[in-house]
Amino acid sequence: MKRILIVGAGGQIGSELTTYLRKTYGGANVVATDMRECPALGEDGPFEILNACDAEAVASAVSRHKIDAIFNLVALLSAVGEQNPQKAWAINMGALNNALEVARQYNCALFTPSSIGAFGPTSPKDKTPQDTIMQPTTIYGVCKVTGELLSNYYYTRFGVDTRSVRFPGLISNVTLPGGGTTDYAVEIYYEAIKSGKFTCPIPENVYMDMMYMPDALRACVELMEADPSKLVHRNSFNVTAMSFTPETIYAEIKKRMPDFTMDYNVDPVKKAISESWPNSIDDTCAREEWGWKPEWDLSSMTDDMLEHIRRKFASENK
């Protein structure tokens, strides 16, 4: 990767991946794009407004900037997707379809995240294998499975260097996620600092896989830089760092903030989605094929999240 285009750079992953990639590949070599103005993304490199569903605009950006690798991060997440499935399909598949076609025409590598949401209630629940039944019950998951198949098709049919990971819930302290089922595991930290109490929308005993953003950023780059001859799989690798329930993360925060309290107001849509996803996924293939290994666990992540969010609120309230 020498000249990189990030599509959907203003979201939860993109806002941090842009900075991360610019540190490694040079600010001028990482072009961040989004539907909306994102002033922070223009500070240390090029930023452009780009509608990922406009095929000509995507092709123009790739051609003008002589791009050789695309990160397509555009997606409506699982819970918000259920409010308007047609829109979710149009955006999630429209952006991917354009990215694949442009990657084919301009000979670019392409990274698109998949998700634990690609699994469904008929997948094995525990240690969900890399290759298994995938019958998701959300439009988000349907898009992810379709995207995985389509990306593999572009690789075998046209030789496009497509690669992907199935991310678990991503926890970060820079940009909030929006409309996802795993968002609670980010919101809980903000509420702990802001108000000392949190109302959880996910049932207390539901396990979901999670990962701290620094591990996720490293996963993107390590997979894209991996020796292609070692990759048996491409779209998409199971990766995980931890698996916990609302009760586990609550207890972890409470250890550090004894006055913190949590109650429940379970959201029926998020309940159904969270219960349809794996308790934990098996990432052996990623470990074997490109050396994936997480560095953060629940305890170290909790220390880091609380410290960063505390600092953020302190500087905002100055």
Residues 212, 199 contacting (CB under 8 angstroms): no
By the rule CB under 6 A, 10 interacts with ligand SER:
no
Q: How far is the CB of 70 from ligand SER (least distance, A)?
A: 20
* Residue 14 token pair: 């993109």
Q: Does the active-site annotation cover 212? A: no
Q: How far is the CB of 303 from ligand SER (least distance, A)?
A: 22
Task: Report the residue number whose CB is nearest to ligand SER.
Answer: 180
User: Is the Cβ of residue 108 or residue 239 nearer to ligand SER in the bound state?
Assistant: 239
User: Is the Cβ of residue 140 or residue 250 nearer to ligand SER in the bound state?
Assistant: 140
By the rule CB under 6 A, 213 interacts with ligand SER:
no
Q: How far is the CB of 78 from ligand SER (least distance, A)?
A: 3
Q: How far is the CB of 251 from ligand SER (least distance, A)?
A: 22
Interface residue with ligand SER, options 18, 98, 115, 172 (CB under 6 A)? 115
Q: How many residues bind ligand SER (CB under 6 A)?
A: 11
Which span (103-111, 112-120, 196-204, 255-263) binds ligand SER, by CB under 6 A? 112-120
How far is residue 208's CA from residue 228's CA, in Å, rounded to a whole number?
30
DSSP, collapsed to helix, strand or coil, labels residue 12 as helix
Place of tokens 């979710």: 88
> If we measure between CA atoms, which residue out of 92, 227, 235 comes closest to residue 166?
235
Q: Residue 118 carries which DSSP code?
A: G
User: Is the Cβ of residue 21 or residue 170 nearer to ligand SER in the bound state?
Assistant: 170
Which span (87-95, 111-119, 190-198, 237-245) binds ligand SER, by CB under 6 A? 111-119
Which span (113-121, 157-165, 195-203, 246-254) binds ligand SER, by CB under 6 A? 113-121
Q: How far is the CB of 27 from ligand SER (least distance, A)?
A: 28
Place of tokens 């309230």: 317
User: Is the Cβ of residue 47 or residue 140 nearer to ligand SER in the bound state?
Assistant: 140
Residue 76 burial (10 A CB sphere; 0-12, 13-18, 19+) = buried
User: Is the Cβ of residue 45 or residue 180 nearer to ligand SER in the bound state?
Assistant: 180
Give the up-direction half-sphere exposure of residue 195: CA atoms within 13 A in the CB hemisphere.
8
Site for ligand SER in 134-193 (CB under 6 A): 140, 167, 169, 180-182
Longest Cα–Cα distance of the chain, Å, equals 58
Give residue 62's identity as a one-letter amino acid code: V
Active-site entry in 20, 106, 140, 153: 140
User: Is the Cβ of residue 6 or residue 281 nearer to ligand SER in the bound state?
Assistant: 281
Q: In 7-34, which positions are buried (b, 16+ CB within 10 angstroms) versus exposed (e)? A: bbbbbbbbbbbbbbbbeebeeebbbbbb
Provide the H-helix boundaries in the chain: 12-25, 55-64, 78-81, 85-106, 139-158, 184-194, 213-224, 246-256, 268-276, 284-290, 298-316
Q: Residue 128 carries which DSSP code?
A: B
Q: How far is the CB of 55 from ligand SER (least distance, A)?
A: 25
By the rule CB under 6 A, 302 interacts with ligand SER:
no
Q: Which residue numbers are catalytic?
A: 140
The contact set with ligand SER (CB under 6 A) reads 77-78, 115-117, 140, 167, 169, 180-182
